[in-house]
A and B are shown apart, each in its own frame.
Chain A
Amino acid sequence: MIRSELIQKIADENPHLYQRDVEKIVNTIFEEITDAMARGDRVELRGFGAFSVKKRDGRTGRNPRTGESVAVEEKHVPFFKTGKLLRDRLNGA
């Protein structure tokens, strides 16, 4: 399923809403999650999962082609942990 299909499903269920508002609603939800993580916040959606930011320490990496050492700076990466309910549903519970 891709974003446009998700928007279509929501639109079909909500005939009283304009399509462009449904688009805005779906986009707002995902943007809000991204923006929260960009601020370093967590987003916890019980039953679905939690989005958080993990810190990766700086390390000395190596250019695999030349074997040269390069310093890799500390960085922050997005992380998602599946919620219990969804994990159980995926396994037929």
Chain B
Amino acid sequence: MAEKTLTRMDLAEAVHAEVGLSRNDSADLVESVLQHVSDALVRGESVKISSFGTFSIRDKAARMGRNPKTGEEVPISPRRVLTFRPSHLMKDKVAAGNKS
């Protein structure tokens, strides 16, 4: 299993190969998709892509944390975090594809 890292460029290349748009336009569309997903999340919406997964926002309450090195208490302010829940299809594909 040769582990590789894909980037926006590889996604654009796939769009280019699949739809036949120029590499430039394909790259712009990849960016646009990521931008729309991000914008929806920033507005507080969840983003549900069937057979892929769901991105959702969770509100975390403020709590006291501790610097593990110094033991010092530090306040952690309330914040919003993003969680991704993969679809069953994705889980199955990833499990099947990486079986040793």
Contacts and interface: CB of A to CB of B under 8 A. Distances in A.
Interface residues of B, number: 55
B19 interface: yes
Contacts of A77: 86, 91, 94-95
A29 interface: yes
B52 to A, nearest CB: 4
B14 A45 contact: no
A76 B94 contact: yes
Given A39-B97, A90-B82, A25 B15 contact: yes
B3 A41 contact: yes
A72 interface: no
Nearest to B52: A30
Interface string A31-51: 011111111111111111100
Contacts of B48: 1-3
A79 to B, nearest CB: 8
B60 to A, nearest CB: 10
Interface in A45-90: 45-49, 53, 55, 74-78, 80, 82, 86-87, 89-90
B6 A14 contact: no
B57 A26 contact: no
B93 A28 contact: no
A86 B82 CA distance: 9
Nearest to A78: B86
A43 B33 contact: no
Contacts of A42: 3-6
| Top 10 A-B residue pairs of the complex, sorted by shortest distance between their CB atoms | A38-B97, A80-B84, A76-B98, A78-B86, A1-B40, A32-B14, A30-B52, A40-B1, A38-B93, A82-B82
17 contacts: A1-B36, A10-B36, A13-B32, A37-B94, A38-B96, A38-B97, A38-B98, A39-B4, A41-B4, A44-B6, A46-B8, A49-B82, A80-B55, A82-B82, A87-B81, A87-B82, A91-B80
